[in-house]
Homo-oligomer: A and B are copies of this chain.
Amino acid sequence: MIVRDRPNLLQLFFIVRGSIIRRILPQIIVIFLMSALIVWGHEESPNLVVSFNGSSLSLLGIALSIFLGFRNNAAYDRWWEGRRDWGQLVYVARGFARQTLVLEAEGEAGADMRKNLLRLTMAFAQALVCQLRPGSDESKVLRLLTAGEADLYRTARNRADLILRLMSADLARSKAAGAISDIQYQMLDISIGQMGAVQAACERIRNTPLPFGYTLLLHRTAYLFCFLLPFGYVDTLGWGSPFVTALIAYTFFGLDALGDELEDPFGQRPNALAIGALADTIEINLREALGETDLPPLPQPKDFVLM
């Protein structure tokens, strides 16, 4: 996630970090050069390099804007839903720390149990990051697990879910032993269930991109449109055509590329969500709730980017 103040007018045009421009620059340059070539060709031999009435392209451009607008909206909704899911996790984890206070109040065995549950909650948050961002540093999870748990973790198909099952097994044992009541069990189970809901929602967003046919159709139309544009503008804009064409291409390709970034909110690009930082924040919150005082600093953005 890009964290920076609103740029002023001058900065506005020189920021590249977080801008989509680096990814689409080659295409824009191609469009610009092509457009310039067409203007030159049209001036040299108007019969060879034809032009046509640009206004007939307006319809296509407007249609494309509407469809791109809807697609970007859908992509943004996924991004924001992903953020909401992680906000939910923050809240459930903190709530879990509060709900387990009642265990602590009931004696030392309860305090140990609480410590255990919160430790596994931290591990769950870190494991979820690893699952959503393949290639992440698994040691952040492993340092929170016991040797036995770590072995299970390594062999599990769904690692984050395993950790939830470890928590539930713990609760089930306490329940069978009569250490916690039916209602307490129910309360804690609901919280663990909510963590599972967050996981399932994140997996859903990660594993189900926007329908491929939709993406493909819009990409193709956007490219064909931008390649046709210079022919339509050569007569009315002349040498202004490459500039206007490049600006339109910047807007359309830019939105298209941004849609791609937002579609996968757990990725590693600058505009993706800072789930790593959120998992660290959850860990710090829980450590504080456990009474630890030697807390690591809150995660800070590096070079305006928080991951």
Residues of A within 8 A of B (CB): 1-2, 4, 6-7, 9, 12-13, 15, 18-20, 27, 50, 52-70, 72-74, 76, 79-80, 83-84, 87-88, 90-91, 94-95, 97-99, 101-102, 104-106, 156-158, 161, 164-165, 168-169, 171-173, 175-176, 181-187, 189, 192-193, 196-197, 199-201, 203-204, 208, 210-217, 219-221, 223-225, 228, 231, 233, 236-238, 240, 244, 247-248, 250-252, 254-255, 258, 260-262, 270-271, 273, 284-285, 288-289, 295, 298
Contact = CB atoms under 8 A, between A and B. Distances in A.
20 contacts: A7-B219, A20-B216, A55-B236, A57-B244, A67-B251, A70-B76, A76-B214, A84-B204, A87-B204, A90-B203, A94-B164, A97-B165, A98-B192, A101-B165, A106-B176, A186-B187, A187-B189, A211-B258, A212-B270, A228-B244
A250 B240 CA distance: 25
Contact of A217 (B61, B74, B210, B254): B254
A215 B7 CA distance: 10
Contact of A63 (B70, B251, B260): B251
A134 B247 CA distance: 39
Contacts of A210: 76
A219 to B, nearest CB: 6
A213 to B, nearest CB: 5
Contacts of A1: 208, 212
